[in-house]
Amino acid sequence: MRASEFVVQLRENLVIALDVIRNHKMRSFLTLLGVIIGVMSIIGVQSLIEGFQKSIHQQMEQLGANVFQVQKFPVNIGHDERDKYRNRKDITWEHAKAIEKYCTAVERVGPEAWHFEIIVKYRDRKTSPMNVMAGGTPEFFANNSYFIDGGRAFSEVDVQQKADVAVIGKDIIDALFPFEDPLGKFILADGRRYQVIGTLEEMGSRFGNSEDNKVVIPLSTFLKYYGSYRSLNITVQATSVDMMETAQEQVIGVLRAVRKVPPGEDNDFEIWTSNSLIKSFNDITRAVRIGALVIVSFSLLVAGIGIMNIMLVSIRERTREIGVRMAIGAKRGDIRMQFLIEAIFLSVIGGLFGILIGVGLGQLIALISPVPAAIPVFTILLGFVVCVAVGVIFGVVPAVKASKMDPITALRYE
């Protein structure tokens, strides 16, 4: 077939295909449902995952590319797995001091401790139990990108004196001090009295959780009340992004020495950077994606069989048309192409609807929940290609069947 012939016929075939869909709206819609659902769900899932990924990357960057953490347990492990690491030695303030003293590539060291699910009270008001207590040194605020917008952060002196002072987040201020200035007031956090000396700038939410629910107190005070047996996290800031690797090597060396890890044995502590969190997040999303893919493959298989079926019906109904086309000069290849294009067109129309609905769904979820969404360009292209493939794979059998008809028999068909 010459190129010009192909173009002429392609246009004709698209017009016919559109006409067939127009004249069998319900039937086409039902056939396309599988494609629509399949493509819609993959696009929807993908928009959410990509949205998440984007926001995580952004937040990781905010956290600082020259910052890493030292802690006892690996991140993102299940509860059962934690037992494996439980008898590691705790990470202590002494370790943080050693790092500060010996690591030249380290700018700042911030030992931290966390206690979750606390209630904060002021007079007759109280918060939900979803607030978080953090103990830190003055570096804590800079290391975690927390900014003071009223009063002051605690000082080295507060830390030395184990002062009962606190810096509190926006959620707590809103709940306890709707009409008052919190500075200088005494609050009860997890049952203990602290004077509010500073307030934190509003941060909004990260990963769908509010970041404004913090009560930050000096680490010494924290250990005084919660016991010094607990393992600390140490946030370490390298002197620059380029010095990240050096700083990590130095920290590992110092910690192994201080914790007396015999040579040749694995570290008995974890170092993680934002990259390692991104990596473990990507591992999770990969699993979700594979799950979605399996579902989508099934629905596309069902859709494909639907398309094949409807094409077989359509070809039987249009037997005479096929006979006429052959009589006036359509070659077998032309007929085959016509029905193949029709099947592809059907599938792609379904795919386009699926893409539209999927993108819309992702945006809608993003709108009504804290989950962010992106428009997954690559997946949209992939979805398009997959629809073409479904059309080809499941259109071939009917198309070949149509092209093999005997024109005389086809013309006589009632």
Partner 1 sequence: MMIELKEINKDYHLGLETVHALRGVDLNIDNNEYVAIMGPSGSGKSTLMNLLGCLDTPSSGLYMLNGSDVSDMDDNALAEIRNREIGFVFQNFNLLPRASALHNVELPLIYNGTPSSKRRDLAEEALTKVGLKDRMHHRPNELSGGQRQRVAVARALVNNPSIILADEPTGNLDTRTGDEIMDLFETLHDNGNTIILVTHEEYIAEHSDRIIRLRDGRVERDEAV
Q: How far is residue 72's CA from residue 91's CA, in Å, rounded to a whole number? A: 6
DSSP calls for 311-345: HHHHHHHTHHHHHHHHHTT--HHHHHHHHHHHHHH
Q: How far is residue 270's CA from residue 91's CA, in Å, rounded to a whole number? A: 10
Q: Does residue number 328 form part of the binding site for partner 1 (CB under 8 A)?
A: yes
Closest separation between CB of residue 24 and partner 1, Å? 11
Q: Does residue number 400 form part of the binding site for partner 1 (CB under 8 A)?
A: no
Residue 216: what residue type? Answer: V
Interface pattern 276-315 for partner 1 (x via CB under 8 A): ----------------------------------------
Interface pattern 52-81 for partner 1 (x via CB under 8 A): ------------------------------
Q: Does residue number 100 form part of the binding site for partner 1 (CB under 8 A)?
A: no
Interface pattern 23-52 for partner 1 (x via CB under 8 A): x-----------------------------
Applying CB under 8 A, which part among 5-13, 87-95, 185-193, 219-227 lies near partner 1?
5-13
Name the residue nearer to partner 1 (CB basis): 3 or 368: 3
Q: Does residue number 408 form part of the binding site for partner 1 (CB under 8 A)?
A: yes
Going from the C-alpha of 246 to that of each of 254, 304, 383, the distances in angstroms are 12, 56, 44
Residue 241: what residue type? Answer: V
Size of the site for partner 1 (CB under 8 A): 28
Residues 6+ apart with CB under 8 A from 25: none
DSSP calls for 183-217: TT-EEEETTEEEEEEEEEPP--EETTEES--EEEE
User: Which of 11, 82, 84, 123 is in the footprint of partner 1 by CB under 8 A?
Assistant: 11
Closest separation between CB of residue 392 and partner 1, Å? 22
Contact 72, 100 (CB under 8 A): no
Q: Does residue number 411 form part of the binding site for partner 1 (CB under 8 A)?
A: yes
Name the residue nearer to partner 1 (CB basis): 28 or 137: 28
Interface pattern 225-244 for partner 1 (x via CB under 8 A): --------------------
User: Measured in whole angstroms, how far is the alpha carbon of residue 302 from the centre of its chain?
Assistant: 29
- Residue 229 token pair: 């047996």
